[in-house]
Amino acid sequence: MVAHVVTTTALTGDDLAFIDASLADTDRLLGAGYPGDSGTRQPVHTVYVPADRFTPALAAEWGEQALAAVRSHGGIEELCRTLGLDADLATQVSARALAKLDSEPIEDLRLDFEDGYSDRGDDVEDADALAAAARVAEAVATGAAPPFIGIRFKCFEAPTRARGLRTLDLFIGALVAAGDLPDGLVLTLPKVSTVAQVEAMVYACQKLEVAHGLPHGRLRFEVQMETPQLILAADGTVPVARLLHAADGRISALHYGTYDYSASLGIAAEYQSMEHPAADFAKQVMQVAVAGTGVRLSDGSTNIIPVGEPDAVVSAWKLHARLVRRSLENGYYQGWDLHAVQLASRFIATYAFYREGLPAAAGRLKNYVRRTEGGIMDEPATARALAGFLYRGLACGAVTEAEVASLAGVSSAQLAGLAHPRPAHPALAEPARPRSKDRP
């Protein structure tokens, strides 16, 4: 006997239309406010240097200093072993890290007019802002600039607001006068404590775009999270979440400021660290705030630098490598480096992270794509995370397209589609690719 199948429904077309109308605001919020990651390249680090010290040769010079320090301590493979890599992993990572230090030692460079520059008087800073723009334009034109480059100007608190805006204005104007703005231009707004400061930055960007004939939205910026007021406001709200949706889509990243934030909480200098519980709490709030928005995250820095006596250098390298690894494991794929010798531990720790995880992630993704049963039942969300892990490893040079194709059974284009199924904007649908397919 065939069971009777009920095909009528209780909800009418009018009911569905009512529900659609009631959720229209939700649909708009999710579409505009939470578009997902764009799939463009994210640098693994940001290097800060005082603005007046930048020259087009700086990136190459930092690479040479890093390589010289590595050679003085037994070579890159020996350093890999010192940092805890086994023999096989050390062999895999050392060649890649060596090539990176030689070809692209700095991925993201910030010319600093804030803490690393201080107050030198208006005439001096005016001249340095114009000189910085000229040097950036020269570096871009000659191919010597890192893929991402820009300035950090003074914050929008009352004592420094006018000076910060003037430096930004002069720098952008001089860059435009020298030619097109660099594709990888990054502007950094520090010490943000209220949503209103971000809205003021949006206004400044809009005015600069009009003044220089730039397309609307061309100027975007990072926000440095360095104050507790951004985590919890006087009215009990969480401004770091609100400001992302009050910025006209212009915020590209949130950067955690280790020492300003720690000091503002009264943490003793000896215990100020990227891994302090207070730092973890702030970064977890930031992580929740940016989820789904497409805004990137960056961890902060350690001021323990690998210089001095050999034992002190090795100790600082070990600390830095451990902190880099910890950030990666916690979902922070970018951090700050303050000294050339930190580059070696940055790239060794980063490449080791992706090389170690490559076989398992690729195998699971292969099973998912081919619908092969394995010990782990992955679903679309975890498959996206697996693809995102491999995609980041590919973008930074830790793995190759050939390895992804062989181990995961997908092309780089398929990998990008799995990792970032909803591009934030049609112009971003083609993901950034690694600089060379021939990296080791």
Q: How far apart are CA 339 and CA 8, in angstroms?
A: 70
Instruction: Provide CB contacts within 8 A for 132, sequence distance 6+.
Output: 51, 52, 54, 111, 151, 171
Q: How far apart are CA 74 and CA 416, in angstroms?
A: 38
**Residue 367 is which amino acid?**
N
Q: Where along the chain do its domains lie? A: 45-352, 358-422
Give per-10-residue mean pLDDT for the chain (440 aa).
73 96 95 92 97 98 98 96 97 97 97 96 98 98 97 98 98 96 97 97 98 97 97 95 95 97 96 97 98 97 95 97 98 98 98 97 93 77 94 96 96 93 43 36
pLDDT of residue 372: 79
pLDDT of residue 435: 38
CATH code, 45-352 = 3.20.20.60
Q: How far apart are CA 182 and CA 102, in angstroms?
A: 23
pLDDT of residue 376: 73
Cβ–Cβ under 8 Å, residues 408 and 369: yes
pLDDT of residue 430: 34
pLDDT of residue 426: 36
Q: How far apart are CA 238 and CA 240, in angstroms?
A: 6
**Residue 228 is which amino acid?**
P
pLDDT of residue 2: 61
CA 65 to chain centre: 24
Q: How far apart are CA 397 and CA 387, in angstroms?
A: 15
Residue 60: enclosing H or E segment and its boundaries?
A: helix 58-71
Torsion angle (degrees, nearest 10) of CA 312, 316, 318, 323: 160
Sheet holding 335-337, edge to edge: 296-298, 251-256, 221-225, 185-189, 148-152, 108-112, 45-50, 335-337
Largest CA distance in the chain: 94
Instruction: For residue 359, give both structure tokens.
Output: 């076989």
Enter the pTM of the model.
0.91
Residue 416: enclosing H or E segment and its boundaries?
A: helix 412-419
